[in-house]
């Protein structure tokens, strides 16, 4: 079993490396490449008419190195991105927050006798184990003979609210209330209560009498009694892209706002994310970045804009943005994450030829399907693409339209 795991990890790494390899930017297309691009254009023009896509589908295909447009259909039309929005959240996080940034959750002394303050640091990967370790660490500085009052400082983020364009039923079924103190995977209406419960129970196990405090504001220059700071922005980006984790996306959206000097609100996140893209030289025309996950019905992107965002692994600062295409990040066609074959992805006769050759983010809402990413095409050139379907006919299942999108990605790759 161990040998199999090692071989699997090696194979995924090799697939990822193959997808990342790209020709030098600015190189003139060869005759073979021009012919290959003409074939891709002609085939996409026919295949995009698949009835599974409905009447509102936008597609953009670019040469990743140069940005040359290979195929375009409604590419400048604002579209719902669904979870393809997470590509933008990933890029803006890496650019604004920094790939090596570590999120901190800390405990501070309170102002009243026996009071300690658990401060949320907006760690999207915080676990129950982290909170238990934090409680154990702080216990060394407490008097076990005296009752302990646990207060909270949640002021890093604005008070939880529903994003503009979120249907009421989304909380907590598909996304939790967004707060600076929550455990990874806690899809509940009150994630703070869940985190506090774990922290308090650990102190009680250690023999302390614990009572609930209030919400307070820790001074900016206060020294913590203990802290946990081990989860990086890169790790968060990887998980968000691979598993399409909504809670992680919304926390990162706020972290981008803070990094750009904006309030950690929906409006602050939108301003910060848009500004970050502009600073990277990306065209934000037609974009409305309402949230970080793509759940909002008011989110808008263009296929061309999204395809250009995916090009950042090949242009600008490849070393920095390559984290998006790490083996543990953007899903690999038919191999990992939300593109794993167990979900029916890249398993049809039209698309299975591209297994392992595409790195792309998926997206699904009621009537929306998205697939955006990169592929090393059969002509040896890397292609960036975005496929956005906003009017999926309800007579077709989500999977049927997703598989049709896989076929378009295989067409971009050139294997079908």
The verdict on 169 and 317 lying in the same domain is no
Mean local confidence (pLDDT), 310-339: 88
Last residue of a domain, one of 232, 254, 277: 232
The verdict on 119 and 191 lying in the same domain is yes
pLDDT of residue 410: 99
**Is residue 26 over pLDDT 70?**
no
Mean local confidence (pLDDT), 232-257: 98
11 domain-assigned: no
Last residue of a domain, one of 175, 200, 232: 232
Burial of 357 (0-12, 13-18, 19+ CB in 10 A): buried
The b/e string for 238-255 (b: 16+ C-beta within 10 A; e otherwise) is bbbbbebbbbbbbbbbbb
18 domain-assigned: no
The verdict on 36 and 182 lying in the same domain is no
The verdict on 49 and 138 lying in the same domain is no
Mean local confidence (pLDDT), 144-154: 97
pLDDT of residue 14: 37
- Give residue 22's pLDDT band: very low, low, confident or very high (50, 70, 90): very low
The verdict on 162 and 80 lying in the same domain is no
- Give residue 316's pLDDT band: very low, low, confident or very high (50, 70, 90): low
6 domain-assigned: no
Domain count, the chain: 2
The verdict on 208 and 225 lying in the same domain is yes
**Is residue 1 over pLDDT 50?**
no
Look up residue 243 and give its two tokens: 């598993």
- Taking alpha carbons only, the member of 415, 244, 245 closest to residue 346 is 415
pLDDT of residue 256: 99
Q: Which residues contact 129 (CB under 8 A, 6 or more apart)?
A: none
The verdict on 137 and 250 lying in the same domain is no
Residue showing tokens 């967004």? 178
The verdict on 303 and 393 lying in the same domain is yes
Q: CA-to-CA distance for 312 and 372, rounded, in angstroms?
A: 13
CA dihedral 206, 211, 215, 221 (to 10 degrees): -40
Strand (E) or helix (H) holding 196? helix 191-205
pLDDT of residue 276: 98
The verdict on 295 and 317 lying in the same domain is yes
Q: Which CATH number covers residue 145? A: 3.50.80.20
Mean local confidence (pLDDT), 91-96: 98
Mean local confidence (pLDDT), 345-357: 99
DSSP conformational letter for 300: B
The verdict on 62 and 177 lying in the same domain is no
Q: CA-to-CA distance for 21 and 15, rounded, in angstroms?
A: 10
pLDDT of residue 313: 73
Look up residue 65 and give its two tokens: 């190195």
The verdict on 290 and 223 lying in the same domain is no
**Is residue 317 over pLDDT 90?**
no
Structural domain of 61: 24-99+238-413
The verdict on 284 and 345 lying in the same domain is yes
């Amino acid at each position: 079993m161990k040998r199999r795991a090692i071989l699997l990890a090696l194979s995924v790494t090799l697939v990822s490396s193959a997808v990342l390899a790209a020709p030098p930017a600015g190189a003139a297309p060869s005759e073979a490449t021009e012919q290959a691009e003409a074939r891709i254009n002609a085939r996409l023009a026919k295949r995009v008419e698949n009835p599974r896509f409905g009447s509102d589908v936008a597609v953009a295909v670019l040469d990743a190195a140069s940005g040359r447009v290979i195929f375009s259909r409604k590419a400048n039309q604002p579209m719902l991105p669904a979870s393809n929005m997470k590509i933008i959240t990933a890029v803006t996080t890496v650019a604004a927050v920094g790939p090596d940034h570590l999120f901190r959750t800390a405990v501070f002394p309170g102002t009243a006798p026996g009071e300690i303050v658990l401060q949320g640091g907006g760690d999207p990967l915080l676990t129950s184990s982290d909170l238990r370790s934090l409680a154990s660490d702080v216990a060394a500085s407490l008097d076990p003979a005296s009752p302990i009052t646990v207060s909270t400082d949640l002021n890093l983020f604005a008070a939880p609210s529903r994003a503009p364009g979120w249907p009421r039923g989304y909380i907590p079924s598909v996304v939790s209330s967004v707060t600076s103190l929550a455990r990874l995977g806690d899809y509940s209406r009150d994630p703070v209560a869940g985190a506090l419960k774990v922290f308090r129970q650990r102190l009680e196990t250690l023999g302390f009498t614990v009572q609930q405090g209030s919400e307070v504001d820790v001074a900016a220059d206060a020294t913590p009694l203990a802290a946990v700071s081990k989860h990086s922005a890169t790790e968060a980006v990887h998980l968000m892209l691979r598993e399409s984790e909504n809670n992680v996306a919304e926390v990162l959206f706020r972290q981008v706002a803070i990094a750009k000097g904006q309030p950690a609100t929906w409006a602050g996140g939108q301003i910060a994310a848009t500004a970050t893209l502009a600073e990277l030289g990306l065209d934000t025309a037609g974009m409305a970045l309402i949230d970080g996950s793509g759940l909002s019905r008011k989110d808008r992107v263009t296929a061309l804009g999204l395809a250009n965002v995916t090009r950042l692994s090949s242009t600008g600062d490849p070393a920095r943005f390559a984290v998006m295409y790490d083996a543990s990040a953007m899903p690999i066609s038919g191999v990992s994450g939300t593109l794993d074959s167990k979900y029916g992805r890249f398993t049809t006769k039209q698309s299975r030829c591209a297994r392992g050759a595409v790195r792309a983010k998926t997206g699904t809402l009621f009537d929306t399907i998205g697939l955006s990413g990169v592929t090393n095409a059969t002509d040896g050139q890397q292609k960036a693409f975005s496929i956005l379907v906003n009017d999926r006919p309800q007579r077709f299942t989500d999977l049927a339209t997703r598989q049709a999108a896989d076929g378009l990605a295989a067409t971009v790759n050139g294997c079908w």
